[in-house]
Amino acid sequence: MANSSECMRKNIVLIEDEPDIAELISMHLEKAGYGVTVFSNGAGFLQFMEANTPDLVLLDLMLPDIDGLEICKNMRKRSELSAMPIIIVTAKNKERDKVLGLELGADDYMTKPFSPKELVARVKAIFRRQMSAEQEADCIDVGGVLLLDLAKHELTVRNTRIELTYTEFKILELLAEKKGWVFSREKILHQIWGEGKTVIDRTVDVHIRHLREKLGADARFIRNIRGVGYKLEEF
Ligand code: CA
């Protein structure tokens, strides 16, 4: 089964025997916030799967030891792996191969050469489809890097829990719920502290400064719009 918590970083396994391609794909997936484990052959992957449950598998078909289609078939036969998303990534571009891959239970198919960005987009699309509306409402994902668990009031950044104060979390949640929207200090004060509270505008700056310090390099998501306020932006 896939990770039970939707608020955890997704882990992807890549089975690819060409080192250059493996490196290129890994780099793009990691940049998008995913954890990546690479195997250059089928046997190593199958052994790994005895004790691990990644969230998605990217599978090359022409491997040195086992045919990728056999791996796909093998996974689908095991009940605990039957729902794990599989994307086939291969140089085989005949219609027949694609159909066979999909019939064996792959969720998607990409032909080499391909755009790594498109691959990342397809991975994201699969995770989006997987996530029910309810789960989605309980969790906000910012750029695949910041994960806010709204029920537990927890922030996870690249698989590491970051301790935030209640106010810091509420400010981050407010900005993250409407990515790209600029919130004035006044608006933030109103939303977090409510009306009629005597809190000065600078309070927002102080909390945001603390929040940014805790986020370190990932503070880049929180943008200060001079003279207007703050926004959270994915890029
Ligand atoms: Ca290959």
Using CB atoms within 10 Å of the CB of residue 29, give its burial: 0 to 12 exposed, 13 to 18 middle, 19+ buried: buried
Q: Give me ligand 1 centre to Cα 37, in Å.
A: 16
Q: What is the pLDDT of residue 93?
A: 76
| CATH fold label, 136-232 | Arc Repressor Mutant, subunit A (1.10.10)
Q: Give me ligand 1 centre to Cα 108, in Å.
A: 17
Residue 67 DSSP symbol: B
Q: Give me ligand 1 centre to Cα 144, in Å.
A: 28
3-state secondary structure of 210: helix
Residue 221 DSSP symbol: G
Q: Give me ligand 1 centre to Cα 136, in Å.
A: 36
Q: Give me ligand 1 centre to Cα 38, in Å.
A: 13
Residue 62 DSSP symbol: B
Instruction: Specify the CATH architecture of the domain 4-131.
Output: 3-Layer(aba) Sandwich (3.40)
Q: What is the pLDDT of residue 159?
A: 81
> 4-131 and 136-232 share one CATH topology?
no
Q: What is the pLDDT of residue 129?
A: 76
Nearest alpha-carbon partner for 231 in 184, 168, 162, 165 = 184
Query: Residue 64: is the preceding peptide bond cis (ω within 30°)?
Result: no
Q: Give me ligand 1 centre to Cα 17, in Å.
A: 5
**Residue 188 contacts residue 229 (beta carbons within 8 Å):** yes
Per the structure block, which two tokens stand in for 106? Answer: 């792959």
Q: What parts of the chain have a pLDDT lower than 70?
A: 1-7, 131-137, 196-199, 235
Q: Give domain limits for the chain.
A: 4-131, 136-232
pLDDT in tens, 83-133: 889 999 988 878 887 788 888 888 888 888 889 999 999 998 888 777 655
Q: What is the pLDDT of residue 198?
A: 67
Q: What is the pTM of this model?
A: 0.62
Q: Give me ligand 1 centre to Cα 97, in Å.
A: 14
